[in-house]
Structure 1
Amino acid sequence: MKVTVGPGQYIRNIGLLKEAGTYIKNFGKTAALIGGHNSSEIVEVSLRNSLLENGILLKQTLWYGGESSRANIDRLVAELTDKNIDVLIATGGGKAIDTVKAVAYRLNKPLVAIPTIAATCAAATPITILYSNEGEFIGIERRAKAPELVLVDSEIIMNAPVRYLIAGIGDTLAKWFETKTSVKKAVPTVFNQTAVAIAGQVYQTLLQIGKEAVNSVRTRKVTKEFEDIIDTIILVSGSVSGYGGDDCRTAGAHAIYSGLTIFPEVHQTYHGEIVAFGILAQLCMEKTSEDELKPLINFYQEIGLPYSLKQMGVRSLTDSQWQKLGEITVTIEDMANMPFEVTPEMVIEAVRQADKIGKGMLPAVLPTWQ
């Protein structure tokens, strides 16, 4: 049995980036930084100085390509092969880190992740979520590695737009709803039962302090609640997949997210925001009553998560678009984790029902980003 619970080491602190070299020096003398344009700009100067202070040369800074696609992974592997790089450093959000996890696997290099947002658990998992170059979900790539080291600078996360943290809460909420569903198909083991227990605690943590954490970002004040939510999103939620493995992976909520990515209008909505709506649709598929859904939607309203298609830019769908959504969604690997067979018609009905309930709770005026 082989279990990868998470990264080799996780360190989180205010101003940690200035000390990054003291930890990275354990992996070699030369490094390449790979990430998004904004994230690389945020970390490069402080990181380069810290590396130099510890005898490490940052030889290259590369853009990851904008999507965690096979083409970008192949391009980076070709770019870095035979370049005498000891350690790869990934920075940015989930897609950037996922891309470099696959590159590090193929090159057999140590990997350090420096997230600049707390929007997913990508830094703590040994898989890569693949997309096309246009942003449509492709599948799960298991030829990827969990980082040897994750460095989280609370100040950097604090300075990111609050919407990223909100999206991270949405993505992390799904750990509970999907884990307790997908595990029904598995034989109980100490690992998957531990994963379920952690997922339940993650859910309670988000409900209890999620609003306070979001308010901390809005007031630009690093609080215990804020740092607890960072750790919950990036590390603790990732350990659910680590302990549970394929027994406790994503399910209907992520499958519906992936299906919705066929519509270009949702590409301006963040991963965790769409997943949050996917949770509602999954619950409808599971015959959850409207009265049971409303308290969860109330929480969405408190922190700013979407709960209708309109909030994600989808104003109307033709009959053929609805059919395409249903047909594609049931082919997504995540949907196979549901404890019953799901048909395209079930997906369409669930999304329609979730949207109807959500629209019934919309305020008269939507937030400006919606």
Structure 2
Amino acid sequence: MAEQTPSLRVFASPSRYVQGRDAMAELGSLVGALGKTPLVLTDDVVRDLTGETLERSFERAKVPLIFERFGGIPTKAESERVAEVIRQGGHDIIVGLGGGAAIDAAKGAGANAGVPWASAATVASTDAPTSALSVVYTEKGSFESYRFYDRNPALVVVDTQLVAQAPTKFLAAGIGDALATWIEARALRGTDAANMVEGRPTQAGTALARLSWDILWESALPALDAVDRNLVTPDVEAVVEAATLLSGLGFESGGLAAAHAVHDGLTAVDETHHLAHGEKVNIGSLTQLLLEGAATAEVEEFAEFTARVGLPTTLTEAGLGDADDAVLDRVVEAAMAPEETIHRLPFSPSHRDVRDALRAVEGLGRRVRERAGLGEPRRP
């Protein structure tokens, strides 16, 4: 998609979005309105966490509840395996339950089997639940490709009580993923670059990206304080909506640029595999800001804010503090693959430009942490 110059503007969204405390208790009736024989794809941890609630919910809705164990990584093979389970069981809808990995695998399986899919999020760690694409990884956890679908999820459900009970680092990662949405969407404003749904960016997509950004700057820190105590507050509800719905619509219809391309590049080296998706994206956001030559005050403010959120702002935290040029060259080579979204920037950075910007993240992050009294960056 990166090489295309589309003529039409396109906006995409899920058919229905439902969010709130104990929303998972309504999943049975919501899914039952879409299919008679659903399959729920999830891992053992999430099944143990939600099983009793879902049993009551599906029984009340008179809908059968059948689980399939998720293999852990949304690979091409995993989506095809689950698709075969759908075919053999005669299921007419699949539900991805948990985080972005299970949800992305469910999308792929649903597309392979020719049935609709729903997203049931128990964390707000990525903006994957609403989109018409999956990130496909290799068995080793490296980025392989984006896979695009002809429709978005038929349903998205986010239970904010479960989000509040999950480790706070998951919400912090979701904030990192969502903050990139505006950084990338604004870079594509007024250009002919493609968004993620085979069209030019829409004003709606860009505006929602900005709204997500504004909400996060206002509410992210108090929301994280609340989640530390397993509380659902208005700030938590606002941040979950910003990180899931608004960011999801914003990145898909507003477009991606360098931040997510750098994320994809970071997955190519083993040193960064301890980082969550949104944590790698935050390194990508800082890299894009430096690559663009953004105002120093803006870049430093962003670095301090995201450090306070708990996101990595140095290569040291990413496991690359001592990396030589050969390692960073592998990151940059993957980030600049022909199909990558970095090529949607309104300028054409060289390999050396991107490597230097990535390398410069270390000094920026350290300087800001020292000035803000945040201490030395932690090694993984």
TM-score, normalised to structure 2, is: 0.90
User: May I ask how many residue pairs the two structures share in their alignment?
Assistant: 364
In structure 2, which of residues 347, 351, 354 is the aligned counterpart of residue 344 of structure 1?
A: 351
Corresponding residue number in structure 2 for 1:205: 215
Q: Does 1:364 align with 2:375?
A: yes
Task: Report the CA distance between 1:6 and its aligned residue.
Answer: 1.6
Change (3 A) 1:173 1:187: closer
Are the counterparts in 2 of residues 112 and 149 from structure 1 also a CA contact under 8 Å?
yes
Q: Does 1:216 align with 2:226?
A: yes
Task: Report the CA distance between 1:49 and its aligned residue.
Answer: 2.4
| Structure 1 residues 159-198: aligned runs within 5 Å | 159-186=165-192, 192-198=202-208
Corresponding residue number in structure 2 for 1:319: 325
Q: Does 1:226 align with 2:245?
A: no
Corresponding residue number in structure 1 for 2:262: 256
Deviation digits for residues 108-167 of structure 1, max 9, x if unmatched?
223221101101111111011111111111111013642211121111111110001001
Mapped to 1, the partners of 2:36 and 2:297 lie a distance apart of: 58
Task: Report the CA distance between 1:319 and its aligned residue.
Answer: 2.8
Query: Counterpart of 1:150 in 2: which secondary structure?
Result: strand
Corresponding residue number in structure 1 for 2:31: 24
Q: Does 1:68 align with 2:74?
A: yes
| Structure 1 residues 1-370: aligned runs within 5 Å | 3=10, 5-59=12-66, 61-143=67-149, 145-186=151-192, 192-242=202-252, 244=253, 248-331=254-337, 333-362=340-369, 363-366=374-377, 370=380
Are the counterparts in 2 of residues 118 and 234 from structure 1 also a CA contact under 8 Å?
yes
Mapped to 2, the partners of 1:282 and 1:162 lie a distance apart of: 26
Query: Counterpart of 2:41 in 1: which secondary structure?
Result: strand
Mapped to 2, the partners of 1:329 and 1:3 lie a distance apart of: 25
Deviation digits for residues 187-234 of structure 1, max 9, x if unmatched?
899962222222222111111111111111012221101001111111
Deviation digits for residues 288-334 of structure 1, max 9, x if unmatched?
24333111112112211110011122231123222222222211511
Are the counterparts in 2 of residues 11 and 152 from structure 1 also a CA contact under 8 Å?
yes
Mapped to 1, the partners of 2:278 and 2:200 lie a distance apart of: 29
Query: Counterpart of 1:250 in 2: which secondary structure?
Result: coil
Mapped to 2, the partners of 1:39 and 1:264 lie a distance apart of: 27
Query: Counterpart of 2:346 in 1: which secondary structure?
Result: coil
User: Identity, % of aligned pairs?
Assistant: 26
Which amino acid in 1 is paired with 2:350?
Answer: T
Are the counterparts in 2 of residues 169 and 272 from structure 1 also a CA contact under 8 Å?
yes
Mapped to 2, the partners of 1:43 and 1:144 lie a distance apart of: 30
Are the counterparts in 2 of residues 4 and 126 from structure 1 also a CA contact under 8 Å?
no
